[in-house]
Chain A
Amino acid sequence: MKYVEEFRDSARARILVTEIERLIGAIAPPEDRPIHIMEVCGGHTHSIFRYGVEGMLPKAIELVHGPGCPVCVLPMGRVDDCVSIAEQEGVVFATFGDAMRVPGSKKSLLQAKADGADVRMVYSPMDALALARKNPEREIVFFGLGFETTMPSTALTILQAEREGIINFSLFCNHITIVPTIKAILDSPDLRLDGFLGPGHVSMVIGAAPYEFIARFYRKPMVIAGFEPQDILQSIWMVLKQIAEGRCEIENQYARVVPEQGNEAALAAVARVYELREFFEWRGLGSIDHSGVRLREAYARFDAERKFALANVRIADPKSCQCGEVLKGVIKPWQCKVFGTACTPETPLGALMVSSEGACAAYYQYGGVKEPQAAA
């Protein structure tokens, strides 16, 4: 595949690994521990495991798998709301595939479907809108989920529905924003991170400027990274180079996709349709101020939260779950008390075990239970 295989070339990978090893030699390790680099985005986590990147790195580097898997950070109460909407008479509940297995307090959407709810897997919000056109007698509720990556396509779908005067379509909005979350992690007292791989697809929409505070106020380097394994190795090398040279900057490795200023049309659609919520609840991280969006008043008629009476109950994460500590890089997935025992991909307790982008599921599936890949 053109423009794909070039980025998976093993000869180039070896050169990058050698360069990384050389740089590591030049850096005095902080407090006798490995250098911790967090990849914020779940897409990176997936690539790292899929291509075995972690095992290629020197032991002096430890990758911390961040909160950027939107399926993983979805709180149980919101899943319960999904189920309660989906189970109402006349509703077709349209969702992305990997949200179907996320456990609620009683059941997942997959179980609700088995119990008779009309839950359909779609690949785009426009597919959900097409369902609304085709089934005028049903209410089609789209489960809007994801960071700034998926936010614009949902916004454009709402604008399209408005233009067409479609009245049987609504959005259950669970879109979240990455910047307040990175800030929450940086403010955490047990922080042990030395640098970040910035989320490539989010940055394609928002550009590089919103991350400036990370370099300026928190003095941490960040490199916006692409998703091919070579992108990841190069970005790690760029983070290390900043550390070696004592710089803290926001650099863009993924320049072939990410414009410095972001995507203006996408940002305009987002600004038009959504407003920030005062706070949003994250699984594993708790409530984070201004970290979620909802539909503006002008689009209230498309807002499932206003159309349906929802319990909106906050359900605490299971006590044994240490998702929050894993997300913040305090512990590794396999150090969690329930990893691989009470919590497995078949019966996930914590959200990180649900999606293949979740750090725990990735370790379980690609890294193994007893022997983490890094140690292999």
Chain B
Amino acid sequence: MNIVAPIVKSPRELGKVCVNSVTLAHGGGGRAMKDLVDDVFVRAFDACSCAPLEDQARLDLAEFAARGDRLAFTTDSFVVDPLFFPGGDIGKLAVCGSVNDLAVGGAVPLYLSCAAIVEEGVAIDVLREVARSMAATAAQAGVKIVTGDTKVVQRGSCDKLFLTTTGVGAIGAGVALGVDKAAPGDAVLVNGVLGDHGAAILCARGDLALDAPIESDCACLHGLIAGLLEAAPLVRFMRDATRGGVATVLNEIAEASRAAIEIDEDSTPIRAEVRAFCEILGLDPLYLANEGKIVVVAPQRQAEAALEAMRRHPLGRDSCRIGSITAGEPGRVTMRTSFGGRRIVDMLVGEQLPRIC
């Protein structure tokens, strides 16, 4: 189905930025700001429609109604440092993040907003590159960025560039996923190796003096999820394992469903490089962020169908079952260690801090 262009088309002249870096003038609301918004964002997001800019995007309700019976609505902010990292950048991350937040609820992602807070002094080319990356990711995902905002703040008031994306999508009739729906016997699945994004970012920051060939797994998962829901409509719940990693999502499920979860270390896929990286720094890969991985809870009778569907998608080739929902103590997540022991996988208190010795 085609996505209807939301804005009435009419020709419009786009402004052009002629300086190299952002100044406070670009946030002043005048000509400089219009030029920045036109040259960087409108050019990237809406180059062909050249419609007049209104204060809001106008979306056709019929389009939503045709795809489902509920609106999914989500927002997320992105403050990643560095802005560009192996496997992605803040722009790609911002699009994938909101697309995934919609998709894990069973929604078809349709439209995004993009709000940018820019620190004065940031090179215009950096903004252009981020905007191009957002546009390319959105195009690939079949969603449109239809509204936005730009603010410029004084040096030191933010770290180069913060982005917020808000997304809307439609949830198909009958889809009713819930974090509280896991039941003993259900299978816990993931769509591939864990911890890549967190490790890639820590590496890319460069202050660890560690160089590892690890790329962020940042990706839009709605395609994979659509295939999964079609093959296994009884799937109870899924969530993208971003900040706090898989361990956090498992705890959220155990808590909300008043069930226990047991995972198996031998079946938990972690890239050798990421494992070695964690080993050296004293980190636990279960708590590392992912940006292209979901945890899926499926009833036993559809676990195989779900896995097969996930594996058919390029972003789910290494999908596997990592554990099960059990009738143990409600709220508790445990792991059978490869060594033969059993340990608790708790919620992280704050940030993971490396141990000293």
Contact = CB atoms under 8 A, between A and B. Distances in A.
A107 to B, nearest CB: 14
B174 interface: no
B263 to A, nearest CB: 13
B4 interface: no
A8 interface: yes
A97 B354 contact: yes
A123 B344 contact: no
B156 interface: no
A51 interface: yes
B356 A145 contact: yes
Interface class of chain B by DSSP? loop
Q: Which of B276, B338, B340 has the most CB of A within 10 A?
A: B340
Nearest to B340: A10
A201 B339 contact: no
A23 interface: no
Nearest to A150: B357
Contact of B329 (A14, A100, A355, A371): A371
A5 to B, nearest CB: 8
A51 B337 contact: yes
Interface in A51-65: 51-56
Interface stretch (A83-91, A239-247, A293-301, A360-368): A360-368
Contacts of B349: 345-346
A52 B354 contact: no
A8 B275 CA distance: 14
A366 B337 contact: no
Nearest to A56: B341
A52 B329 contact: no
A319 B344 CA distance: 30
A324 interface: no
Contacts of A146: 356-357
B234 to A, nearest CB: 32
A131 to B, nearest CB: 10
Given A1-B276, A46-B355, A97-B356, A366 B209 contact: no
Interface string B271-312: 010011001010010000000000000000000000000000
Nearest to A347: B349
Given A10-B338, A356-B355, A368 B209 contact: no
B343 A49 contact: yes
A366 B329 contact: no
A4 B343 CA distance: 19
A54 B344 CA distance: 12
Contacts of A365: 344, 346
B344 A55 contact: no
B207 interface: yes
Nearest to A50: B343
Contact of B209 (A46, A51, A53, A123): A123
Nearest to A57: B341
A98 B353 contact: yes
Interface residues of A toward B: which range? 35 or more
Contact of A55 (B207, B341, B354): B341
Contact of B344 (A145, A346, A355, A368): A368
Nearest to B349: A345
A366 B344 contact: yes
B314 interface: no
Contacts of B341: 51-56, 229
A229 B339 contact: yes
Contacts of A121: 353-354
A50 B284 CA distance: 10
Nearest to A345: B349
B339 A150 contact: no
A229 B341 CA distance: 10
B342 interface: yes
A203 interface: no
Nearest to A353: B349
Contacts of B353: 97-98, 100-101, 121
30 contacts: A1-B279, A9-B339, A10-B339, A42-B357, A46-B355, A50-B284, A51-B339, A51-B341, A52-B337, A52-B341, A52-B343, A53-B339, A55-B342, A56-B340, A96-B356, A97-B356, A98-B356, A100-B353, A101-B353, A123-B354, A127-B209, A149-B357, A201-B357, A229-B341, A230-B339, A346-B350, A355-B355, A365-B344, A366-B343, A373-B343
Interface of B: 207-209, 272, 275-276, 279, 281, 284, 329, 332, 337-344, 346, 349-350, 353-357
Given A52-B342, A121-B353, A367-B344, 16 more contacts: A14-B340, A49-B343, A52-B337, A52-B339, A54-B341, A98-B353, A98-B355, A100-B353, A110-B350, A121-B354, A150-B356, A229-B341, A230-B339, A364-B346, A367-B343, A368-B344
List the 4 closest pairs (A to B, CB-CB), nearest first. Answer: A52-B341, A97-B353, A10-B340, A96-B356
Interface of A: 1, 4, 8-10, 13-14, 17, 42-43, 46, 49-56, 70-71, 96-101, 110, 121, 123, 127, 145-147, 149-150, 201, 229-230, 345-346, 355-357, 364-368, 370-371, 373, 376
